[in-house]
């Protein structure tokens, strides 16, 4: 399998202002979008999501940690085949080949691991 890189990392934060000051203000990672529960910081290759620890939204069942890896289309198919009917809980696959696909897998420690092809097709647009 060919993992190209880390696509996203979700970090649980206690104080959004302090977290944004650190990652955006000090480290200089550009802020792409923010709502009441999370902030998306967009790098050239991949993004960081700061998510308030009391969130009600995305990756609610994602365990203590969520991260995503970008893979090639061929590697994505390999991963899907490896996890079909397996001993790990999965969600997906979602999406369309040539546009963007994603598969979510719970690891043995309850962390949500995602493999996807989104960054093969440019920087994802947030709506």
Ranges of each domain in the chain: 3-121
User: Tell me, what's the pLDDT at 94?
Assistant: 96
Q: Is 21 left (phi over 0), alpha (psi -120 to 50) or beta?
A: alpha
CA distances from 123 to 12, 28, 44, 85 (A): 23, 18, 8, 32
User: Tell me, what's the pLDDT at 53?
Assistant: 82
The pTM (predicted TM-score) of the whole model is: 0.70
Q: Regarding the domain delimited by 3-121, which CATH topology (the fold level of the hierarchy) does it fall under?
A: 2,3-Dihydroxybiphenyl 1,2-Dioxygenase; domain 1 (3.10.180)
User: Tell me, what's the pLDDT at 69?
Assistant: 85
Contact at 8 Å (CB) between 76 and 116? yes
User: Tell me, what's the pLDDT at 1?
Assistant: 61
User: Tell me, what's the pLDDT at 7?
Assistant: 85
Regions of the chain short of the pLDDT cut 70: 1, 57-64, 109, 127
Contact at 8 Å (CB) between 30 and 42? yes
DSSP 6-71: EEEEEEEES-HHHHHIIIIIIT-PPEEEE-SSEEEEE-SS-EEEEEETT--STTTTSTT-EEEEEE
User: Tell me, what's the pLDDT at 73?
Assistant: 94
């Amino acid at each position: 399998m060919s993992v190209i890189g880390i696509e996203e990392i979700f970090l649980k934060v206690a104080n959004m202002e302090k977290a944004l000051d650190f990652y955006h203000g000090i480290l200089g990672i550009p802020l792409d979008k923010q709502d009441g529960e999370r902030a998306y910081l967009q790098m050239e290759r991949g993004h960081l999501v700061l998510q308030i620890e009391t969130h009600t939204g995305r990756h609610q069942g994602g365990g203590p940690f969520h991260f995503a890896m970008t893979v090639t289309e061929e590697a994505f198919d390999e991963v899907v085949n490896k996890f079909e009917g397996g001993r790990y809980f999965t969600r997906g696959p979602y999406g369309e080949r040539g546009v963007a696909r994603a598969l979510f897998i719970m690891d043995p420690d309850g962390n949500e691991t995602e493999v996807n092809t989104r960054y093969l097709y440019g920087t994802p647009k947030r709506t």
